[in-house]
Amino acid sequence: MQQHEAVELGEDKAAKFKSKVGLILFGVYSFIYAGFVFVNTWSPKIMETKIILGLNLAVFYGFFLIILAIVMGIVYNHYCTKMENKLNVDEEENKE
Amino acid sequence: MTYPVSFLAVLFFIIFVVMVLALSFYFARKTKTASGYFAAGGTIHWGVNGIAFAGDYLSAASFLGICGMIAFSGYDGFLYSIGYLAGWVVALFLIAEPMKRMGKFTFTDALDSKFNSKGIQLMAAISTLIVSICYLIPQMVGAGALVKPLLGLEHYVGVLIVGTIVIIIVSTAGMTSTTYVQFIKGGLLIIFSTILTVSLIINGLHKKPSDEYHDFVTLDAVFDGESYTPDSQDYKFAGTFKVKDSEFVKLEKDGIFTWWKVKGSDGEFKLEEALSSTIKPDEVVFYNGALASEGRFFQVGHISKLIMNGKEVEKTGSLDPFSFLSIIEESEIVRFAKTSVTDGDNEVTIWYQNPTSGKEIMRPGLKFKVDKGSTFWSKLNFISLMLALFLGTASLPHILIRYYTVPSQRDARKSTIVAICGIGFFYILTLYMGLGAMTHGVLDLSSSNMSAPLLAKYFGVGLFSIISAIAFATVLGTVSGLIVASSGAIAHDLMDRYMGIKMTEKQKVFAGKISALGIGMVAIILGILFKGMNVSFLVGWAFAVAASANLPAIIMLIFWKKTTAKGIASSIFVGIVAALSIILLSPDMFARYGFDKASSPISLSQPGIISIPLSFLTLVVVSLMTQKKKVKV
């Protein structure tokens, strides 16, 4: 049950980097989500347009938003973990 | 509609309950500190926590409500899935790690981490309680509504069973037992929803869903200026009723009265069979002219034109996930529209056939007024709803407290990603399960919430029993999380922090358990009092209030250095008041009060688009007005 590789809660040198990347990814996702809401609201008929594999734009865009959230989450975690390992380990080594 | 009691469902449910109670008592011996009780000691593995997030979040509203909404209104129901999932992006990128870094047991801790402000402690605790109660009531009413058709027990018995089990789970080991209940339930829900969806796609689509499916009759009729005479001698005309632009006829056959929709004009009329429920003055309900026990209220939903590769076919055979959706879009499906008439002393609800093109079903507009008959306000309502769903998730107190159950910020982030994967995958399945229910002749028109369990029944009693048991477990998991959040708000935020009552660790745990017992009993009482009321809209309230009251405070605390304690407390207060005021004065609520919708003073039903910016603005203005003056040396 214990997570031994956890970053200690004391000081996280990667916090600024993670916050910046998080904000950028949030901005990108919000823009795409806003586009989805905009088309659904003002041009719902466009959502009938066939896109790929027989799926219309409505289903394609919806699935895309769900899958995009998963992919962005994994990418975000990859870079955050990399930066945490680099900065927080460097910090510990410097102390030694 | 009545359903035969499934003993297998009862057995599965009992097995689940015994399992979670055993876990609860096992962990109870280890729960001796406040940290252990409110935050599982911060020792939960991120993978377990991620699935527990899913178990916490995928409430009855998600599982039963969204599947039912898709089954009745097509793609518009799926918009809820997308909005609910998108909210997790806000949680991951903006909230997860700061909440873990700043908080201890509750989200009030995080908001108050820099200030130690009585105002924040009070307002955040009140906000937690309002949001949690709004969320609790539909869950408890749902428990009662589920138990009656599935187990044959009375509504209050269902509420008592769920309430008692949850009180035991929460008051034994608090967050630890709650986490494992949610983990097991979330895992089971995703696994068996996948099995149901795969069965559906392999089975393909059929014009006639099953051999038992009711054949709807259409009669030719002659109109003599006053009455309709059907071409069948078996039926006798018993009355005609006009509702707006539609006309309905009541016919009698063998002493049973049924309702028919009039179609056609210029002397050539057809009468199309409809379904009805009639409430007599003595409150006895007749379904299609007979008592419910006679089974004349048929399950419905079928494809009237099944188009595959440009040709009309009777069945498709096995499909792949994409062609399943594209064939539905090319086909025509019979949905059922609802209307009401007063027939003497009887109140009659009629469901009549409404063939709808797949194209309309697979795009927005059947539920939300964004297309035909839309107005500026109806479009704004839709935008406001999607905004509240997007911003509400990351501000729900029972979700936020799960960030304190893992050891580190990294684990908080990872568990959110696991949650996004599990919840996102499940929400894709909801589109298949909803459309499956719509086309497989399983819909109970009197209860959209039963769509997913009834679709499972199409594939056998075994799957139906498991899905039904999971539906109960769904309520248990979500209610447990809500009660932990509420007990934290009372015992930790109000008693310990706000009132400053000095307690030992043991006393804090005891206060938490007593609070859980109290909240659990309140939930039971409300669940019984609200019986029969459609209270699913309360979940919408919870999202709107959470997004308006909590999110601006959380975001600004993290990203704006000039945020002050008074700014946070004021924005929570304004967010709650603005969101609730708009909801209570909305056209939808006026209709519920029995007034004309048009007499409502505002045209919005979804408050987010006004109350969220207003709460942000309040925080900025009050914070700027209450900055500490820099002392010149």
User: CA B126 to CA B116: how far, in whole Å?
Assistant: 17
Q: What is the pLDDT of residues B453-469, one digit of tens each?
A: 889 989 988 888 888 88
CB-CB under 8 Å, B421 with A73 = yes
Q: Are residues B180 and B53 in the same domain?
A: yes
Chain A hits for B45, Cβ within 8 Å: 1-3
Q: Would you say residue B34 lies in a domain?
A: no
Most B CBs within 10 Å: which of A13, A28, A33, A77, as the mutation test of the B interface?
Answer: A33
Q: Which chain B residue lies closest to A66 (C-alpha atoms)?
A: B424
Domain span at residue B323?
218-361
Percent of chain A with pLDDT over 70: 81
Q: Judging by DSSP bridges, how do beta strands B290-291 and B256-265 pair with one another?
A: unpaired
Interval B573-602 mean pLDDT: 87
User: CA B523 to CA B512: how far, in whole Å?
Assistant: 16
A9–chain B Cβ distance below 8 A for any pair:
yes
Chain A hits for B405, Cβ within 8 Å: none
Between B98, B364, B420, which is nearest A58 by CB? B364
Most B CBs within 10 Å: which of A9, A36, A37, as the mutation test of the B interface?
Answer: A37
Domain end marker among B361, B393, B427: B361
Asked whether the beta carbons of B304 and B334 are under 8 A apart, the reply is yes
User: CA A76 to CA B38: how far, in whole Å?
Assistant: 29
Interval B393-401 mean pLDDT: 88
Asked whether the beta carbons of A47 and A39 are under 8 A apart, the reply is yes
Q: For chain B, give the mean pLDDT.
A: 87
Q: Are residues B150 and B81 in the same domain?
A: yes
Residue B345 has pLDDT above 60, yes or no: yes
Residue B354 — φ and ψ, nearest 5°? -135, 80
Q: What is the pLDDT of residues B560-570, one digit of tens each?
A: 989 999 999 99
The 10 Å CB-count burial string (b at 16+, else e) for B17-55 is beebbebbeebbeebeebbbbbbbbbbbbbebbbbbbbb
Q: Would you say residue B595 lies in a domain?
A: yes
DSSP state of B367: S
ipTM summary value: 0.88
Radius of gyration in angstroms for the set of CA atoms belonging to chain B, rounded to a whole number: 26
Q: Are residues B547 and B428 in the same domain?
A: yes
User: CA B310 to CA B316: how far, in whole Å?
Assistant: 12
Q: Are residues B533 and B457 in the same domain?
A: yes
CB-CB under 8 Å, A41 with B85 = no
Q: Are residues B173 and B222 in the same domain?
A: no
Copy the structure tokens of residue B195.
């099995």
CATH number at residue B571: 1.20.1730.10
- CB pairs < 8 Å spanning A and B: 151
Q: Would you say residue B337 lies in a domain?
A: yes
Using pLDDT thresholds of 50, 70 and 90, give the confidence band for residue B613.
very high
CA–CA distances in Å: residue B353 to residues B257, B261, B292, B367, B514: 18, 8, 21, 17, 53
Confidence (pLDDT) at B504? 84
Confidence (pLDDT) at B536? 64
Q: Which run of H or E residues covers position B355?
A: strand B346-357
Tell me if residue B204 falls in helix, strand or coil.
Answer: coil
Q: ∠B16-B17-B19 over CA atoms, to 5°?
A: 65
Q: What is the pLDDT of residues B164-211, one digit of tens each?
A: 988 888 888 788 888 888 899 899 999 999 999 999 999 999 998 888
CB-CB under 8 Å, A55 with B325 = yes
Domain end marker among B338, B361, B384: B361
CA–CA distances in Å: residue B258 to residues A19, B341, B450: 64, 13, 24
User: CA B304 to CA B328: how far, in whole Å?
Assistant: 11
Q: ∠B81-B394-B64 over CA atoms, to 5°?
A: 30
CA–CA distances in Å: residue A28 to residues A33, B435, B614: 9, 31, 24
Using pLDDT thresholds of 50, 70 and 90, give the confidence band for residue A5.
very low
Q: Which chain A residue lies closest to B89 (C-alpha atoms)?
A: A69
Q: Which of B17, B94, B1 is nearest to B469 (CA)?
A: B17
Q: Would you say residue B31 lies in a domain?
A: no
Chain B hits for A19, Cβ within 8 Å: 98, 558
Q: Are residues B614 and B488 in the same domain?
A: yes
Confidence (pLDDT) at B632? 57
CB-CB under 8 Å, B371 with A58 = no
Q: Which residues contact B557 (CB under 8 A, 6 or more apart)?
A: B102, B110, B111, B114, B563, B568
Q: Are residues B382 and B350 in the same domain?
A: no
B409 Cα distance to chain centroid:
30
Q: Which run of H or E residues covers position A39?
A: helix A15-42
Confidence (pLDDT) at B4? 67
Q: Would you say residue B97 lies in a domain?
A: yes
Q: What is the pLDDT of residues B224-255, one digit of tens each?
A: 877 888 888 888 888 888 888 888 999 888 88
A6–chain B Cβ distance below 8 A for any pair:
yes
A73–chain B Cβ distance below 8 A for any pair:
yes
Q: Are residues B413 and B352 in the same domain?
A: no
DSSP, residue by residue, B79-148 = HHHHHHHHHHHHIIIIIHHHHHHH-SSSHHHHHTTTT--HHHHHHHHHHHHHHHHHHHHHHHHHHHHHHH
- Count structural domains, chain B: 2
Residue A7 has pLDDT above 70, yes or no: no
Q: Are residues B405 and B497 in the same domain?
A: yes
B357–chain A Cβ distance below 8 A for any pair:
no
CB-CB under 8 Å, A59 with B409 = no
Q: Would you say residue B49 lies in a domain?
A: yes
Partners of residue B269 on adjacent β-strands: B221, B264
Q: Which run of H or E residues covers position B591?
A: helix B587-593
User: Which of B291-300, B393-402, B497-506, B527-536 is the least confident region?
Assistant: B527-536
Confidence (pLDDT) at B431? 95
CB-CB under 8 Å, A36 with B90 = no
Using pLDDT thresholds of 50, 70 and 90, give the confidence band for residue A93.
low
Q: Would you say residue B517 lies in a domain?
A: yes
CB-CB under 8 Å, A81 with B407 = no
Q: Are residues B431 and B402 in the same domain?
A: yes
Copy the structure tokens of residue B20.
């979670």
Using pLDDT thresholds of 50, 70 and 90, give the confidence band for residue A4.
very low
| Structure-model confidence comparison of residues B412 and A8, the more confident one | B412
Q: Which of B480, B405, B400 is nearest to B23 (CA)?
A: B480
HSE-up of residue B323 (Cα within 13 Å, Cβ side):
15
Chain A hits for B331, Cβ within 8 Å: none
Confidence (pLDDT) at B268? 81
Q: ∠A62-A65-A70 over CA atoms, to 5°?
A: 135
Domain end marker among B361, B391, B426: B361
- Phi-psi map region of B255: left, alpha, beta (phi>0 left; psi -120 to 50 alpha): left
Angle, to 10 degrees, between the axis of helix A15-42 and the axis of helix A57-95?
A: 170
Q: Are residues B354 and B435 in the same domain?
A: no
Copy the structure tokens of residue B110.
């995080």
Q: Would you say residue B457 lies in a domain?
A: yes
Partners of residue B242 on adjacent β-strands: B247
Copy the structure tokens of residue B88.
């997790």
CB-CB under 8 Å, B94 with A15 = no
Q: What is the pLDDT of residues B274-328, one digit of tens each?
A: 999 888 888 888 888 888 777 778 888 999 999 998 899 999 989 999 999 999 9
Q: What is the pLDDT of residues B143-152, one digit of tens each?
A: 887 777 667 7
Interval B58-71 mean pLDDT: 84
Copy the structure tokens of residue A86.
């680099």
